[in-house]
Every structure is written in structure tokens, then in C-alpha cells.
A and B are shown apart, each in its own frame.
Chain A
Amino acid sequence: MTPRERYRETINFRQPDEIPWIDHFETEGIVRWIKEGLPIDRIIAIGSEVSCGGALLGSGLSMSGFDLSSYFGSIPMVGHFLPIDIGPIPRFKEGTVREDEKYVDTITEIGSITRRRRGSLTYSMPMFVDHPVKDRESWEEYKRRLNPLDPRRYPKDWHKDSYLRYCEEYQKGPIQVAVTGLYGFGMQLMGIERFNVAFYRDPELVEDMANYWEFFTVEALRDAVTTLRDGIDQVFWWEDMASRHGPNISPRLYKRYLLNHYKRVTGFLRKNKIDRIMMDSDGNMNPLLDLISESGITGLWPLEVNAGMDAIAIRKNYGDKFYLGGNLDKARIARGGEEMRDEIDSKISILREMGGYCAGVDHVVPSDVSLEKFMEYADYLRKKRGFEGKSFPSGSHF
């Protein structure tokens, strides 16, 4: 099977040849591994573009990043994202807004202000010190940048037939569209504290944001979704709405402000034969799982062990309502050896039999995992992912 076929079989509870492995890597970790001996010449990814971003009429090839999935044999979790621009148009112009001898504050393209230690690695996570939306007035102002019908949301080469062909032929991983969930949307625009408090201080603002988010999401994606339909394998629904203790908002707030909007967006996707919708949220999502399922979300990742997420328990409680990814405890993987093997042994064989599971650590592989420990884990996981003479269960277990 191709990686894409394997992934599709799995998330649809059919019969893959082995469990897909979907680990995802952070830049800090990649840099560490290069220092520890990862051969850089074998992980450089090359992209082609009209030279200098279109400034010169020439075909150029240049480094577009690192491709560790090909090197290790995992499936790139991002696969191919349809390049539909769901950010603010026009962008905010990136630049320094203030600095002192210790810190540099920078405005991002979405209008947030981030702070970094002077001289720190530019790819490490910054501190957010300000956000563009603070109240009704700034929201109305921001909305002007969120016209879903702006033609710039689709790429210059958005020719439907050629995209249909490309998506049919692409086999390295899933074809996806990205959705920023309403909570993620509000949090990005207002900041965690202000957005959470807005549910109580300014519910009309949250309601208006919810209505607009629904309109924006459906209309921005409409062309791609209605063109490609089930040529899209998965919707990647970014949310990040929980911490270790639990969700940031209560089931009551979810039901009141999110649920109906989510149902309508997932209903639009479903009408177009897209029903594999994976929510990316860290933290303990357990108290919301009933509502998340009711909202039409059908997949969960990364299932952080540290936050109490348990893929086997979710599978037992929810059957095939959710396909699952991650849930291998990154802390135990980092420690390696017997602990790493126990983590894999205690989960993989059970989840393999239950189906609908993609293996990986319970979030991005963190930079405190050494290359040696990661290779050890990758080798062991490779041996355990196959079905080795076992007959794969036909149909659902549940």
C-alpha cells in the first residue's frame, strides 16, 4: 500500500497492511539531531518555484525544509494541505515593534505581538504579549481582513482539473484541508485569557465571532470542498482547547457557543462526502468528547498521556465514532529502553486489533528526545506496526 492508501484505510476503519506511523517533528529537535549525526544531505526537502518567488522568470529549485518522514519511513502528518489561505488578507506586515537589550517584540502576520529573547532561536516558541482583537470595535476592524471570497485565498495555480489530478496522484500522505476551529480562532485573535473571559463578559461578541467564523470557514473552503469532495482524505481541525487539567471551556459553553456552528460546518463537509475530520487539541479533552462527537468531529490527535488521554479507553467507550492518532507517551519514549518498549507493547497490539489508529507520540516529537532514543523507538515501532500473520478484523469491533 502507498502511505496515503494505508492512512485512508486506517481512518476509515478498513484494512491497512500495517498501522500508519505519523510522527511529526519540531525544528529544534531536527537541529539537535543534525548535531547528533542525522545526515543533513538526506533530509533536505527541495521545492520548485518560479525563481525568487516570482520576481524572475526562471524555474528554480531550492530548499523548502526538512523531510524526515521519507528518511524514517513515517507518513508525513501534514500530507498535502490544499493551499487555501484562511489567514487575514491583507496580512499584517511583520516587523519589530519594540526592543531592549534583552527582548525583541515582533508583530506577526496575523497581528499578534510576540516576544523573544534577543539572540534566541527564531523557531522556538515565543511569548504572546498582545493580540489584535480586544473588543467589538477591533473585531469589526479585523473582519475586514477575513473576506472568505477574496480571490487571493486560492493559489495562483488553482486550476481545478489539474488539482483533481494532482490529488489523485499524490500518495505520500493524506490530502487535507485545514480548518481553524472556533475556539482556536478566538484564542488566536484575542489571546487565551481575553477570549475565555469574553464568554462571560461579552457573550454577544463571542456569538458574533461564532457566526462569522462559520460563514468564513464554509465560504473560504467551498470551492475546494465542492470540487475535490472525497478526494480530500481528511479535514485537519486545529483547536488546542485544553490543558492537562481539562478543557478550557465547559461543556455548557461548548454546547451554547460552538456546537451548532460546528454541526453546520461538518454538515457542509459531510454533504460533500468528507467525514474524516480530525481535531488537533492538546490536553485533557475527555469532558467534551460526547459533544465533540455530536459536533461531527470524527478523529482525535494527539491524545496526550500526561493529560489523562487514553486511546484504548476512548476506543472502548466511543467505538468507531473517533479514529485516533498519537497517545504514545513522549516522556517514556524519551527515556527509551524498557520503558519505551513497554509503552509501545501496552498499546500498539490492542489498538492494532481495534483498528482506526495511527501510531505516534502524543504530540510533536519534543527536542529532548535524542536521536539515539528516537532511532531505537522507530526501530521498535516498525516491528510492532505490522499485522504479521494476524488476520485483520473485518468490519468494526463494536
Chain B
Amino acid sequence: MNVLDELADSIGQLGSSNRVIELTKEAIAEGLPATDIVEKGIRKGLDYVGQQFEHNTYFLAELLYGAELTNEALEVLRPQMEGSNTKPRARIVLGTVKGDMHDIGKNIFKSLAMASGFKVKDLGVDVEADTFVENVAREEPEILAMSALLTTTVPEMKVVVDSLRKAGLRDRVKIILGGNAVSREFGRSVEADAVALTAVEGVEICKKWTGKSD
């Protein structure tokens, strides 16, 4: 097994953090290109974690730990990545809608999306519709991701979509909705582009949109 396979395996099988860092350093020492280390090692491992989550073999604890391992490996690799011409897969503006202070699902999505190569601008929780609109105008992201946990805050997603439309920005960005209170039916009713029932599904949809699904 080469070092990249070992790295992928170590993340996918939820090995120790020390081992993942050690393998990442080993891959760098072998002179492997940063893009290969990311694609054939780190992301391959994370994708395995995501698949196991979708198949109900892994659960939240495994997903969170897998994302942490991935981000630790990427941190080790950061100097190499900055030196190479690695471009983000796409840009995502992310936030929990106004009135909703929940951030766990949003944070998991963020970790997975970043580990999957997206550049994420996280607006935090309790985000006003105008703030979403301003950031879509300024950052020109390919994707806007919104989260809501409460049934009482879900309607705010419609406010954001309508505000984007009013600002003439709706067609410039794909909109994905997530969070416990969001249903596919609701997503259709507000003309979002997708609803994700889990963070893993959300990232997979974003990958498909950007034409680089693994």
C-alpha cells in the first residue's frame, strides 16, 4: 500500500490523528504533488467516511471525527497548497437564517465542504436576508447554502430567495437548503435548487453542480 492509500485508509477507517498527520508529512517528504495528496489521499478518505454515513454504517460521531482528521491533514499540507496553483472547487456563501441560532449542522456542512475543496464564506447564525444578498453580490459565489433548524425560522429562507430575486441575483447562484426543519417540498415551494437532508448529501449536491463529483 502506498502512502496515499494509507492516508486515505487512515482517514476512512478513523485512525489516530497522529497517524494521519504522520502520513501526510510522509507524503510531502516523498515529494508528491499537493494536489495528489489532497485528491488521492485526504479526500478519498473523507469520501469513504461520507459514503459510510450515507449507508448508515457511520453516524454523526464518525462524520465529525473524519472531518476533523481531514482538516488536520489539510492544515499540515497548507504551505504546499499555497505554493501550488490549487484552485477551490467553487465558492459557497453559507449561513443560518435570521432568528435561528443553531449552527451544528451548518458547521458540519462547512467542514465537509472545505475538506472537499470548496472555499466557504461562513456568515454565521441569525443572518439577515440583506446580509445574504450583499454577500452574494460581493463574493459572487457559485452556491448559496442556508440552514434552519426550527419550523418557525424556515419561512425566512423564502425571504432570502425573494430578496435575491428582487436584487436580480437569483439566477447567478445555486441555492441549497438544509437543516432539520427543511423538507424537499418546502424547497420546491420557494424555488430553491436543492434541499439536502444531511450535510453529506449537501456536499455531494454541490460537487455535482460544480461538475467535479468524485
Interface residues of A (CB under 8 A from B): 28, 115-117, 125-127, 192-193, 196-197, 199-201, 243-250, 253, 287, 306, 330-331, 334, 366-368
Q: Given A193-B107, A201-B17, A368-B152, does the pair A248, B65 have CB atoms closer than 8 Å?
A: no
Q: A197, B197: Cβ atoms under 8 Å?
A: no
In this complex, the member of B57, B60, B151 whose beta carbon has the largest number of chain A beta carbons within 10 angstroms is B60
Of A28, A244, A248, A250, which is within 8 A of B197 by CB?
A: A244
Report how far A117 CA is from B17 CA in the complex, Å: 37
Interface of B (DSSP majority class): loop
Assembly CA distance A17 to B2 (angstroms): 69
Interface residues in B84-116 (C-beta closer than 8 Å to A): 99, 101-105, 107
Q: How far is the CB of B60 from chain A (nearest CB, A)?
A: 4
Return the contact of B125 from the options A127, A200, A366 (Cβ within 8 A): A127
Sorted nearest first, the 6 A-B pairs with minimum C-beta distance are: A127-B101, A196-B61, A248-B60, A200-B65, A250-B59, A245-B198
Give me 14 other A-B pairs in contact (C-beta within 8 A), A249-B61, A250-B62 excluded. Answer: A117-B99, A125-B102, A197-B61, A201-B65, A243-B180, A244-B180, A244-B197, A244-B198, A245-B53, A245-B198, A249-B59, A249-B60, A250-B61, A367-B152
Known contacts A197-B65, A201-B17; is-contact A248 B59 (Cβ 8 Å)? yes
Residue of A116, A127, A253, A287 touching B61 (CB-CB under 8 A): A253
Q: Are A196 and B64 in contact (CB under 8 A)?
A: yes
In the complex, what residue of chain A is closest to B103 when comparing beta carbons? A127
Interface residues on B, range: 20 to 34
CA distance A204 to B40 in the complex (A): 33
* Interface of B toward A, CB cutoff 8 Å: 14, 17, 53, 56-62, 64-65, 68, 99, 101-105, 107, 125-126, 150-152, 180, 183, 197-198
Inter-chain contacts of B99 with A (CB < 8 A): 117
Chain B proximity of A192: nearest CB distance (Å): 6
Flag if B197 contacts A200 (CB, 8 Å): no
> How many Å lie between the Cα of A248 and that of B99 in the bound state?
25
Of chain B, the residue at the smallest CB distance from A283 is B180
B152 to chain A, nearest CB (A): 5
Complex: A331 Cα to B183 Cα, angstroms: 11
13 pairs from A and B in contact (CB 8 Å cutoff): A125-B102, A127-B102, A127-B103, A192-B104, A199-B61, A243-B105, A245-B53, A247-B59, A248-B59, A248-B60, A306-B180, A331-B151, A368-B152
Q: Which residue of A lies closest to B154 (CB)?
A: A368
- A115, A200, A250, A330 pick with most chain B CB within 10 angstroms: A200
Q: Which of B64, B151, B152 lies in contact with A193, CB distance below 8 A?
A: B64
A192 and B61 CA atoms in complex are apart in Å by 9
B101→A126 contact, CB < 8 A: yes
Chain B residues whose CB sits within 8 angstroms of the CB of A249 once the complex forms:
59-61
Contacting residues, chain A, for B197 (C-beta < 8 A): 244-245
**Inter-chain contacts of B58 with A (CB < 8 A):** 250
Point out the residues of chain A lying under 8 angstroms from B107, CB to CB: 193
Chain A residues near B57: list those with CB within 8 A. 250
> In the docked arrangement, what's the CA distance between A125 and B180, Å?
15
